[in-house]
Amino acid sequence: MNTTILQAGAQSPARAKRKWPAEINILLVLVGIALLFEALGWGVRGQSFLLNPDRLLVIVLQVSTVGLIAIGVTQVIITAGIDLSSGSVLAMAAMAAASLAQTSDYARAVFPSLTDLPAIVPILAALLVGALAGLINGSLIARFSLPPFIATLGVMVSARGLARWYTSGQPISMLSDGFGWIGSGAVPVFIFLGMAVLFHVLLTYTRYGKFTYAIGANVQAARVSGINVSRHLILVYTIAGVLSGLAGAVTAARAGSGQSGMGVGYELDAIAGAVIGGTSLSGGMGRITTTVIGTVILGVLTSGFTFLGFDAFIQDIVKGVIIVAAVIVDQHRRKSRKHI
C-alpha cells in the first residue's frame, strides 16, 4: 500500500495539526448558548444549565437515541456520503425488538410462542435489522454506484413501510422488564457515551478510521493506496445501520412499546448534530467527540426553547438556520485551506 498517498488523503484527528482543538470551539458554542438562555430567563425558572448537572443529564438523556444515530451518520458523512434512512430503520428495529420482548401475560402478542424471551434476543433482533438495512444501503452505493442520497432515501421509504406493515400500523406493547431495563434511568446515556468512546477510538487510532478519512478526502487516492473502497463503504453503512438498530431498541425500551411512527425526523437531527459538530458534508473531516457536543447543543436548544415557551415551529426554524450556518462556515474553512 502506498502509505504516503494514504497519509496525505486521510486527515484523521490524531494527525491533524490544529492550534486550537475543535472540541474547545464547539464547547464554547455550547456554553454561549446556555448563557444566552439563562440570560433570557432559563435560570430564573430554576432550570439553570451551567449550575445544575442533573439538568445536563436530562438533556443528554433526551438526545441519547439521536446521538447513537449521529455517531453512525458522522462516519458515513466522513466518507462523503449521507444516510437518510436512519429514522425509519430505528422504527423498523423498534418494532422487531418489541415483538420479541412481549410477556406471556398479553393475550394478543405478535408471536404467542415467542414470549418471555431473554432481553438479549430482542436487542440482537434490533441490531440485526439495523445491520441488514445498513448492508443494503452500502451495497446499493458501493456495488451499484447509486448516489448515497437516492439509495438511503429508497431504504428510508421502504423501512418505514415495513415498520407499518409489520403489525398493520398497530403498536406493540406489554414488553418485559428485562428488555425495558436498557431504556430505564440513565442507561441510554451510558450506552450513548459508551458507543461514542468506542467509535472515537476506532476512528482515531485504527486502520478502520484511517481508511474512512482517506475515502472521504480523496476516493481515487484511497483506491491507489490499496484500500478496498467498496468493501469499506459497505462496512461503514452497516455500522451506521447497527447503531440505528440499537437506537431503535433503546427507544422501544424507553417507551415501553414499539410503534411504526417512531424516529420520524431523527435522521435530520442526527445529521444536524454531526454538522454542528464540525463534520464536513464534503467528506474527510469530522470527529465523534464534536458530534456528541453538537448533539447536546441540539438538546440544549430544544430544552431552552421549551422552557422559554417558544413555539415548536420556531425551534425548527432556528435549527435550520444553524445547520445552514454550519455548512457555510465549513465551506469558508475549506476555501481558506485551499488558499494556504
pLDDT score recorded for residue 50: 60
Distance of alpha carbon 334 from alpha carbon 286, whole angstroms: 13
pLDDT at 329 over 90: no
Looking at per-residue pLDDT, the higher value among 26 and 56 belongs to: 26
pLDDT at 336 over 80: no
pLDDT score recorded for residue 337: 64
Whether 243 is in a domain gets the answer yes
Write out the residue range of the structural domain in which residue 158 sits. Answer: 3-24+68-288
Whether 133 is in a domain gets the answer yes
Whether 259 is in a domain gets the answer yes
Give the CA dihedral 9, 14, 20, 26, nearest 10 degrees: 90
Distance of alpha carbon 318 from alpha carbon 122, whole angstroms: 37
Quick one: average pLDDT of 270-291? 94
Q: How confident is the model at residue 73 (pLDDT cuts 50, 70, 90)?
A: very high
Quick one: average pLDDT of 48-62? 77
Total of domains in the chain = 1
pLDDT score recorded for residue 8: 43
pLDDT digits (tens, 9 = 90+) for 205-230: 999 999 999 999 999 999 999 999 99
Residues 6+ apart with CB under 8 A from 91: 159, 160, 163, 248, 259, 260, 261, 262, 263, 264
Whether 284 is in a domain gets the answer yes
Distance of alpha carbon 235 from alpha carbon 45, whole angstroms: 47
Looking at per-residue pLDDT, the higher value among 108 and 337 belongs to: 108
pLDDT digits (tens, 9 = 90+) for 294-308: 999 999 888 888 877
pLDDT digits (tens, 9 = 90+) for 91-133: 999 999 999 999 998 888 999 999 999 999 999 999 999 999 9
Q: What's the Cα-to-Cα distance from 86 to each of 26, 61, 181, 318, rounded to whole Å?
A: 25, 19, 23, 23
Looking at per-residue pLDDT, the higher value among 10 and 331 belongs to: 331
pLDDT score recorded for residue 76: 98
Distance of alpha carbon 219 from alpha carbon 151, whole angstroms: 19
Whether 40 is in a domain gets the answer no
pLDDT at 340 over 60: no
Whether 37 is in a domain gets the answer no
Whether 324 is in a domain gets the answer no
Looking at per-residue pLDDT, the higher value among 311 and 292 belongs to: 292
pLDDT at 288 over 90: yes
pLDDT at 83 over 60: yes
Write out the three cell numbers for 147. Answer: 448516489
Question: In the chain, helix, strand, coil percent, each to 5?
Answer: 70, 0, 30
Distance of alpha carbon 228 from alpha carbon 270, whole angstroms: 27
Whether 209 is in a domain gets the answer yes
pLDDT score recorded for residue 47: 54
Mean pLDDT (the chain, rounded)? 89
